[in-house]
Amino acid sequence: MKLPEFLTTPRHFPWKKKKGAAATEGAAAEPNAPASTPTPETRQIKAKKKPRKQITLFVRFPIKEQVHFAKRLAFLIGAGVSVLESLHLLHDQTKGSSKRYIYSQIITDVNAGTFLSSSLAKFRQFFGAFAINIIKIGETGGVLKENLNYLADELQKKEALRKKVVGALIYPIFITLATLLLSGMLTVFIFPKVMPIFQSLNVTLPLTTIVLLAISNFLSEYGLYLIAGIVLFIILVRVAVRYSPRFRYGVHFTILRLPLFGKLYRQYHMTNFCRTLGLLLKSGINVVEAITITGDTMSNMVYQRQCTLLAESVSHGGRISAYLLKHTNYFPDVTAHLIAIGETTGALSDTLLYLSNMYENEVNDMTKNLSNSIEPILMIFMGLIVGFVAVSVITPIYEVTQHLQR
């Protein structure tokens, strides 16, 4: 049976505190001291409760937080602070019980002698295979601070590229939703107040007005059900994407085939593929393992599967360029040809990094030009919607005017 712990403080020397185990409080208080010695103060130390396990299912570590983690840890290590103490400082600065729990688990592992990368691997869903392996290489080579700074820079580039792609999609989505919302408000709230006037005058309504009237009646009666159905459909799709790999693969495959946006997504994933693979090879990781790790970092399941098949092909003696040439739907010809040159000259990692910069520039150009490319389509769409509503309202007014003149 483990004895309770006591903290003993001598009255004449309060700075000389002593911690130890004893059966009782009296036994802990200087048992061999002479009678003239002042009685020390003794109190029992309460056993520390183990940290309660927190639910990490809904916890996210976005790239922005990963960048902060890498930068702060690199700064503290560079300032001479140990990895363990640095993690304690990061833990104290972190908000959110679940995230603090993750940090506490990492601290426990590192304190027990586990490598930082091995501890982070337990939370792979948060930190990612790329970050874990870059940190592992830094620990093995004694350049952890340099690799953490390097990791932060690469994650920032990846996040900046992602924001450009998302930003390019926001404009057309916003314009489309605004047009539909405005048309819906006119149809539901304005048009029904005007229609009784036309009907009371026994005016023959044109086809466009009849169609708009039918839409207005439908939205007035079933609009809430329609909105609820759309929301439910979106929720079901999100759940299916998250929990059904087959459905998620189908969605990712469809996105890559979309007009205009599909090419942008392919270039975006090619940038990440070439950059991640090039960086891993440059760090000294063997080709098969580097391809496998690259596949784990890809957000599109189609490219994840292609990386898995590519790793199998290379493990059986195949060349990367040979596989890419057979799958030009996902990997452009220029990629395969330049990689073939890199394999021949022994400069594969440099070639991949060159390709990543090339594709990143293409993505930047595409995001800038996407609004110009899609603007005519949006203008036509808006013109058709607004024109349909305008004709449906103005034509009966013209008929009423003609009717009154008679």
The domain segmentation of the chain, as residue ranges, is: 5-44, 63-155, 167-406
Chain mean position to CA 299: 9
Binned at pLDDT 50, 70 and 90, residue 336 comes out as very high
User: Which of 272, 336, 279, 324 shows the shortest CA–CA distance to 298?
Assistant: 272
Domains 63-155 and 167-406 share a fold: yes
pLDDT, position 59: 59
314 touches 307 (CB < 8 A):
no
Query: Which residue's structure tokens are 């910069």?
Result: 357
* pTM of the full structure: 0.66
pLDDT, position 380: 85
3 touches 23 (CB < 8 A):
yes
Per-residue b/e over 220-254, b at no fewer than 16 CB within 10 Å? Answer: eeeeeeeeeeeeeeeeeeeeebeeeeeeebeebee
The Cα 60–Cα 72 span in angstroms is 19
State the DSSP code for 201. T
State the DSSP code for 156. H
Which tokens hold the place of 295?
């596949």
Question: Does the structure show a pLDDT above 70 at 25?
Answer: no
> How many other β-carbons are positioned within 10 Å of the β-carbon of residue 101?
19
Please state the rounded mean pLDDT for residues 184-212: 76
Question: Does the structure show a pLDDT above 60 at 57?
Answer: no
Question: Does the structure show a pLDDT above 90 at 314?
Answer: yes
Q: For the structural domain made of 167-406, what CATH number should be given?
A: 1.20.81.30
CATH architecture designation of domain 63-155 = Up-down Bundle (1.20)
Question: Does the structure show a pLDDT above 70 at 58?
Answer: no
**Parallel, antiparallel or unpaired: strands 5-9 and 18-21:** antiparallel
18: three-class secondary structure by DSSP:
strand
